Structure 1
Amino acid sequence: AGFTVDVETTLDVYTDAARMRSYDLINQTYTMSTITREQEKGLLDCIEQGTGFAGWHGGMADAFRNNTNYQFMVGGQWVAHPGNIIDYEVNIIDHDDPITAGLSDFKMHSEQYYMHVDPSNQVLATTTFSGEYCPWIEGVVMPVVWKRRWGQGKIFYASVGHVAADFDVPEAREIVRRGLIWAAR
């Protein structure tokens, strides 16, 4: 799929309703920041009307810690990555979905995200915490990849992608590629 890409360095575009409606997909990479109520409303309204929203790691699920409406739309919020950079496995749990079909479980050497997640997410892949770094989460199964709807808009999220090298893992790269295409209008 060929896309024409606009790159913005601020969130001001979120208040331009006409421009936002022209987009098929928003791929946000904005971490630990703030968003004004006007910007948040512009983004959420645009997605609700059918523009897709897709991304990975903290650029999507640790963007605006003080904005619960944004977090409801995304379907989750980052909490911690116990042990920092560690080895862990991602387990495909939905082998029939077009985003994960034909892919096998895979290993990552990166941040394993512990998150607060919406139980209404359609979870496609998970990871299980060992408890080595936080004994109280031993055996906890955490979503890694999910999709959902926000009004007419499609939402895709993957917690992989802390650094570009994470996408040297073919399965991680393919999941994100397919997820971006799936979420686009």
Structure 2
Amino acid sequence: MKRCLIVSGGYAPHRAFEAGERVRAMLEEDGFEVTNSGTLEAYDREDLASYDLIVPNWTLGQMSADTSKRLWAAIWSGVGLGGFHGGMADGFRDNDRFRYMVGGAYVREPGGVRRYTVEIARPDDPIMTGISDFEYYSEQYYMHVDPSNEVLATTRFSGEDYPWIDGIVMPTVWKKPFGSGRVFFSALGHVPEEFDNPSMSTILRRGLNWATRRRV
């Protein structure tokens, strides 16, 4: 059976553990054995290499250099890394090794929660099959992004809050290889209720399954 470790917590308004339970339910339907841990010590306590997928779901927080090296080694060896919103893109701001693995970092959400369009950049990718551009109401993440990512979806900023970003196209969903492992990220999912959006939840579910370790 495939095994997944979710590590949930951090910034309280994200209600991370509740969101982690949403992820747990999705993955259990797909045949995973899932642990949703509410403590950062899980990264050191657990045998990370024994999992097939790790979902970092902890906004802010601190991760030591030694812990990030353990996580790096697990992903490099083939364990999948996948997640969403601030739990992955705004975790452990002081740890460059973690951010390098993720492939991007949260910077700001101009205008806060707002309505915007998620534009599908790769409709031919299996993660995006059958999903068209869709309207979304949430924080619109402005990020610093690794140019080596394979971008699957984007959003476009208006200049309402900052005129100089008018028309900027921002990667919102991406995937990439990392050693023998795979990394997937979606910026969507500010609060657990957003999992009720079928396009958001389908993209995340497929992306996490894609990132999962391929066992021979």
CA-atom RMSD in angstroms:
1.1
Residue equivalent to 1:130:
158
Instruction: Quote the residue 1:2 is aligned against.
Output: 31
Moved over 3 A (4+): none
Determine helix, strand or coil for the equivalent of 1:38.
helix
In structure 2, distance between residues paired with 1:13 and 1:50? 19
Q: Equivalent residue for 1:108?
A: 136
Is 1:76 aligned with 2:107? Answer: no
Match of 1:181 in 2: 209
Instruction: Provide the C-alpha distance between the structure 2 equivalents of 1:20 and 1:101, rounded to a whole number of angstroms.
Output: 31
What pairs with 1:161-172 in structure 2 (closer than 5 Å)?
161-172=189-200
Q: Quote the residue 2:51 is aligned against.
A: 23
Tell me the CA shift for residue 10 of structure 1. Answer: 2.5
Contact conserved, 2:64 with 2:95, CA < 8 A, in 1?
Answer: no
Residue-by-residue CA offset, 1:112-150 (whole Å, 9 max, x unaligned): 000000000000000000111111110000000000111
Matched, 1:58 2:119: no
Between Structure 1 and Structure 2, the one with more strand by share is 2
Question: d(CA) in 2 for partners of 1:21 and 1:73?
Answer: 16
TM-score between the two structures when normalised by the length of structure 1: 0.96
Which segments of 5 or more consecutive residues in structure 2 lack a partner in the other structure?
1-29
Give the unaligned 5+ runs of structure 1: none
Per-residue CA shift, 1:67-94, capped at 9, x if unaligned?
1111111000000000000000000010
- d(CA) in 1 for partners of 2:189, 2:112: 13
Greater shift after overlay, 158-167 or 73-82? 158-167
CA distance in 1, matches of 2:147, 2:118: 19
C-alpha displacement of 1:27: 1.0
Number of residue equivalences: 184
1:16, distance to aligned residue in structure 2 (A): 5.0
Q: Which protein is richer in helix relative to its size?
A: 2
1:40 aligned counterpart, secondary structure: helix
Taking only the aligned residue pairs, the percentage that are identical comes to 51
CA drift at 1:170: 1.1
Task: Please state whether the residue corresponding to 1:91 is helix, strand or coil.
Answer: strand
